[in-house]
Amino acid sequence: MPHEVIMPALGMAQDSGQLLAWHKKPGEAVAAGDVLFEVETDKAAMEVEAQKAGYLTDVSAEAGSDVPVGQVIAMISETPEGSGEPGNGPTPEKTTDTAEPSPSGAEAGEDELPDGHQVIMPTLGMAQDTGLLVAWCKQPGDAVAADDILFEVETDKSTVEVNAGRDGFVAALLAEAGEDVPVGQAIAVISAQKPDKPVSRKAAGAPATTAGETAPELQEKAEPVNTPAPSPEKRLAAKTAPGVAGRVLASPKARRLAQEQGLDLQRLADAGHPQPFHVKDLETLKTLRAETPAASATAQRFEVRAEVKGTAFTEFATWARESGGQGDEAALLAGFAAASCGNLPSKVRVETMRQPKTYSASSLWLGQVAPADDEPEADLVVRDLRASRISSVQLEADRCPVISILRNGEGFTLVLEWPGGRLTTPQAIDLLSNFAGRMEQPLRHLL
């Protein structure tokens, strides 16, 4: 099977690389490790080695051309003739070989991985050895589009969402959330066909399944990497800001105060704020902190509360059960909550005292609130504690916003808690106001 040669991502903010020269001619035999071509980035010219032995074929980029990162520029084939199809867009079947067994061949004999495109732990920082896999955003067997967010990684600087990079199906997840995975190690496989038996396992102890140490240079890091809220302006600035090499210009006092207050000046640099930074720039950094979710912000937890008077909801639930054909009170709560979010359709998990149930609400019509228990990831959690004697909550931060419903006399107290970054303050206030309004006057929802 031919092996794709792609334009590698060699820098942090690199969109394309200039192909300086080919060191092999089309049809020429290459050995793994041979210098195949030279690329110039904004920082340096680098030689890129062949990952596999074979014949260089299907060369589709000429020396001197500027090639987008990730684009296939040639093939390494088993015959000098090649595949006959010059490196157009990669198809999932053909990508199987991008991951060579590590030189030690440690993978051989281990459980077989499904065929497909291997997704690796990307290098997001200059001196990054590992990335903490925060969460998978897809489950084994899920269909994914190239632009879908596949997983979240936390580095020492920030949490970053990483796209799948290929259309297909999640055939294997090779690391679990919470694991620290070496950069370059394969952590997922995306297959073209829906897998029969998707694989899911921990990375710890698993053999490195990518091309070993050279992986960071030559892997499919081409996938666009999305920081949570990147404006085009910010991306541009990150490229032009001084100190690309990781050095931030700041006064000693600004550094000291930032350290004392737990502020990261790098974020100001990433936002393109002009350097050098002084004490007054810390004010800007603080605003930035409130706007953009970051690793530190996700650990924070915010809450708003609302009081609901009267028994209207209880009466409405009774009416719905007896005359409206909706006997599931949790579904009503899910419908109200989803509608309060304002961005239907959404998945709401309702946790009663007994067991959690996830609902999918695709419209305001309560009858269409359907159980969706195969969806473990919810957009919103409604924690129904009316049957308990609990009168106040401040619970462990969930990954998504949580509305707790507590009994308060005849009415309820509603507490909305959310982890930093998941909601803005106006969104949170809107959400809880809408939900409280529906709980107090359920007919509002129907109108």
Partner 1 sequence: MTREITLSRAVNEAIAEEMRRDPSIILLGEDVAEAGTPFKVLSGLVEEFGTDRIIDTPISEPGFMGIAVGAAMTGLRPIVDLMFGDFLYLVMDQLCNQAAKTHYMSGGKLNVPLVLRTNMGATRRSAAQHSQSLQALVAHIPGLKVAMPSSAYEAKGLMKTAIRDNNPVVIFEDKLMYNDKAPVPEEEYLIPFGQAHIKREGRDVTLVATSSMVQVAEAAADTLAKEGISAEIIDPRTIVPLDEETILRSVRKTSRAIVIDEGHQSYGVTAEIAARISEKAFYHLDAPVIRMGAMDVPVPFSPALEDITVPNAAGVADNARKICRGELIHAA
Where along the sequence are the contacts to partner 1 (CB under 8 A)? 249, 251-256, 275-276, 278-281
Q: Cβ of residue 280: shortest distance to partner 1, in angstroms?
A: 7
Q: Cβ of residue 99: shortest distance to partner 1, in angstroms?
A: 43
Q: How far apart are CA 447 and CA 213, in angstroms?
A: 62
97 contacts: CB under 8 Å, gap ≥ 6: 1, 2, 3, 4, 52
Nearer to partner 1, 247 or 309 (CB): 247
Q: How far apart are CA 429 and CA 416, in angstroms?
A: 9
Q: Cβ of residue 253: shortest distance to partner 1, in angstroms?
A: 4
Q: Cβ of residue 310: shortest distance to partner 1, in angstroms?
A: 57
DSSP code, position 391? -
Q: Cβ of residue 235: shortest distance to partner 1, in angstroms?
A: 24
Q: Cβ of residue 257: shortest distance to partner 1, in angstroms?
A: 9
**Locate tokens 């030559």: which residue?**
218
Q: Cβ of residue 268: shortest distance to partner 1, in angstroms?
A: 13
Nearer to partner 1, 64 or 252 (CB): 252
Nearer to partner 1, 256 or 286 (CB): 256
Q: Cβ of residue 277: shortest distance to partner 1, in angstroms?
A: 8
Nearer to partner 1, 235 or 273 (CB): 273
SS3 160: strand
Nearer to partner 1, 111 or 260 (CB): 260
Q: Cβ of residue 252: shortest distance to partner 1, in angstroms?
A: 5
Q: Residue 82 class from Cβ within 10 Å (0-12 exposed, 13-18 middle, 19+ buried)?
A: buried
Nearest alpha-carbon partner for 264 in 97, 274, 277: 277
Q: How far apart are CA 97 and CA 168, in angstroms?
A: 16
Nearer to partner 1, 287 or 323 (CB): 287
Q: How far apart are CA 127 and CA 115, in angstroms?
A: 31
* Contact in structure between 348 and 370 (CB atoms under 8 Å): no
Nearer to partner 1, 43 or 256 (CB): 256
Q: Cβ of residue 275: shortest distance to partner 1, in angstroms?
A: 8
Nearer to partner 1, 244 or 364 (CB): 244
Buried b (16+ CB within 10 A) or exposed e, 309-340: eeebbeebbeebeeeeebebbbbbbbbbbbbb
Q: How far apart are CA 353 and CA 339, in angstroms?
A: 23
Max intra-chain CA distance, the chain = 83
Nearer to partner 1, 255 or 305 (CB): 255
**Locate tokens 């997001």: which residue?**
124
* Contact in structure between 341 and 416 (CB atoms under 8 Å): no
What secondary structure does DSSP assign to 197-223, as a single string?
S-EE--STTPPP-SSGGGHHHHSSTTS
* Contact in structure between 306 and 285 (CB atoms under 8 Å): no
Nearer to partner 1, 108 or 245 (CB): 245
Q: Give me the residues paired with residue 422 across strands.
A: none
What secondary structure does DSSP assign to 21-66, as a single string?
EESS-TT-EE-TTSEEEEEE-SS-EEEEE-SS-EEEE-----TT-E
Nearer to partner 1, 201 or 273 (CB): 273
Q: Cβ of residue 234: shortest distance to partner 1, in angstroms?
A: 21
